[in-house]
Amino acid sequence: MATTETTRSAPISRLGGRWIQDWTPEDPDFWASTGRRIAARNLIFSIFAEHIGFAIWSLWSVMVLFMSPKYGISVADKFLLTSTPTLVGAVLRIPYNLAVAKFGGRNWTVISALLLLIPAALAAIVMQPGTSFGTFLLVAAVGGFGGGNFASSMTNINTFYPQSRKGWALGINAGGGNLGVAVIQLVGLLVLGTAGLLQPRIVLWVFLPLIVLAALGAVLYMDNLATARNDTKAMREVIRDGHAWVMSLLYIGTFGSFIGYAFAFGLVLQNQFHRTPIQAAGVTFLGPLLGSLSRPLGGWLSDRLGGARVTFWNFVLMAVCAGGTGAGRQQQVARPLHVRLHRVVRLLRYRQRLDLQDDPGHLPGQGTCRDRVRSGRNDGAAEGSQAVRCVDRHRGCDRRARWRRHQPGVPPVVRGGQVGHTRRRRFPGVLRGLFRRHLGGLPAEGAGTGGAGRRSHLTRSQPLTCGRSKP
């Protein structure tokens, strides 16, 4: 844990390498005259470096959307690729936190930014079909450097601001950094929508120069604080405090949920809600975007209302939103079940109609199918004589075709070896015009209806399946 030593108010003095010797943010005069400006400059470039760190940390939540079946990566393997950087980043938080006081906030920001070139460059090399899953997993693990970058950035900014302004400053710093998740997912969406699944490296070509700019900005405009110290004794005391463990569990629920949903939600949409990669990317970025924009607001509210109240209502809203997501998934599951039940009921009704027919080849008031064909009352009967024989056969024909035969006034129509049916429907003029446009016009008067002056249209055509017929 990095802290600052409080000294008397004095003009700021610098050492070589952009080190600041005296830093007293709790002194109102020093803060108003000098401290506020320097802290704001360091905050801006810290946000930019942390923003790129978050983007690289969440890189594989985007890369897995480009992995078509050609990659040979299963769904479980994709979830492992997205969760591995999270685990590595969590482990790196402790050394990255201690490195700020050891090397200086500016110096370590430069180092941690340049380290992001490694996972980005490696991903550009291995991102192609044929790469082994072990190689992908190793490169994804290196992406955890971005998670450590977040820890060092928060520790560094914490030393620049007075106690009364830490909530706002850390909220701005974290929110701007968290936007990196939404930005890289938006870049991935843009690439998916324009270049397609075959060009995942375009995402990396966008962020590689930004990594260099982040390191360059830290070199030119950030400062090191000589007053920052690693208070290891305080860290040991924190470990013994029960409240620290409670806060850690709460942090799992807040920031852990943010990272977990942001990294894995795209895959969940693909595999549980059956969305395409573009559709998944078009929704996934919304959560990180809203979460990032709300972090400064949460810090501001915590400074005025207290962190406990803000945390409580935050968990309430999270529970409501999670419940809504679960209810939406249940509706997705229930809908196919309802469709299946509806189909079962329809099949039972069809069976009942079949049982009521004494002669399966007879249509009341119309004669048999063969009689109508011979009399020339069906179009195209000469070309489809084999299909007509199947229509007359009760067993071995398609069940739907059999049911259509049994409906009074719905004679079968044989055209080009396809068996369909015609139904007499009377539509208003507007609807009739719509059907003409979409179905290519209505048949001629009296075609297929057995009577003059009637207008009918072919609503569907079903291939006839009759395995027992012979040519």
Residue 198 covered by a domain: yes
- For the chain, what is the total number of helices (H) and then of strands (E)? 19, 10
pTM metric for this prediction: 0.63
CA separation, residue 48 to residues 134, 209, 223 (Å): 32, 13, 15
Domain boundary among 256, 284, 305: 305
- pLDDT level of residue 328 (50, 70, 90 thresholds): low
Q: Which domain holds residue 109?
A: 2-305
Residues near 284 by Cβ (< 8 Å), separated by ≥ 6?
61, 185, 262, 265, 266, 269
- Asked whether residue 215 falls in the same domain as residue 102, the answer is yes
Q: What is the mean pLDDT of the chain?
A: 74
| 323 vs 379: which has the higher pLDDT | 323
Torsion angle in degrees (nearest 10) through CA of 307, 309, 312, 315 = -70
The predicted-structure confidence for 298-317, as pLDDT tens digits, reads as follows 877 887 888 888 888 888 98
Number of domains forming the structure of the chain:
2
**Where are the extended beta strands (E) located within 24-141?**
none
| 3-state SS record for 447-467 | CCCCCCCCCCEEEEEEECCCC
Residue 269 covered by a domain: yes
Domain boundary among 305, 327, 344: 305
Q: Among 179, 153, 163, which Cα is nearest to 58's?
A: 179
Residues near 404 by Cβ (< 8 Å), separated by ≥ 6?
410, 412, 421
The predicted-structure confidence for 428-462, as pLDDT tens digits, reads as follows 454 455 444 444 444 444 444 344 443 333 344 44
Distance, CA of 103 to CA of 155 (rounded, Å): 13
- Asked whether residue 150 falls in the same domain as residue 54, the answer is yes
Helix (H, G, I), strand (E, B) or coil at 359: coil
CB 157 within 8 A of CB 169: yes
CB 200 within 8 A of CB 127: yes
Domain boundary among 239, 272, 305: 305
The predicted-structure confidence for 169-220, as pLDDT tens digits, reads as follows 888 898 888 899 989 989 998 998 888 888 899 999 999 999 999 999 999 9
Structural element, H or E, at residue 230: strand 228-230
| 3-state SS record for 107-156 | HHHHHHHHHCHHHHHHHHHHCCCCCCHHHHHHHHHHCCHHHHHHHHHHHH
Residue 324 covered by a domain: no
Distance, CA of 33 to CA of 82 (rounded, Å): 46
Distance, CA of 209 to CA of 228 (rounded, Å): 31
CB 154 within 8 A of CB 173: yes
Distance, CA of 81 to CA of 83 (rounded, Å): 6
- Asked whether residue 438 falls in the same domain as residue 296, the answer is no
Residue 106 covered by a domain: yes
Distance, CA of 126 to CA of 118 (rounded, Å): 12
- Asked whether residue 25 falls in the same domain as residue 99, the answer is yes
The CATH code of the domain that includes 74 is: 1.20.1250.20
Torsion angle in degrees (nearest 10) through CA of 383, 387, 388, 394 = 180
The predicted-structure confidence for 19-60, as pLDDT tens digits, reads as follows 898 899 999 999 999 999 999 999 999 999 999 999 999 999
Predicted pLDDT at 197: 85
- Asked whether residue 40 falls in the same domain as residue 164, the answer is yes
Residue 315 covered by a domain: no
Total number of residues shown for the chain: 471
Query: Which residue's entry shows tokens 């090191």?
Result: 224
Tokens of 67: 């992995």
Query: Which residue's entry shows tokens 């852990």?
Result: 256
- Asked whether residue 367 falls in the same domain as residue 287, the answer is no
- Asked whether residue 391 falls in the same domain as residue 270, the answer is no
Residue 444 covered by a domain: yes
On the question of pLDDT at 168 being above 80, the answer is yes
- Asked whether residue 46 falls in the same domain as residue 182, the answer is yes
Residue 316 covered by a domain: no
Residue 114 covered by a domain: yes
Predicted pLDDT at 351: 56
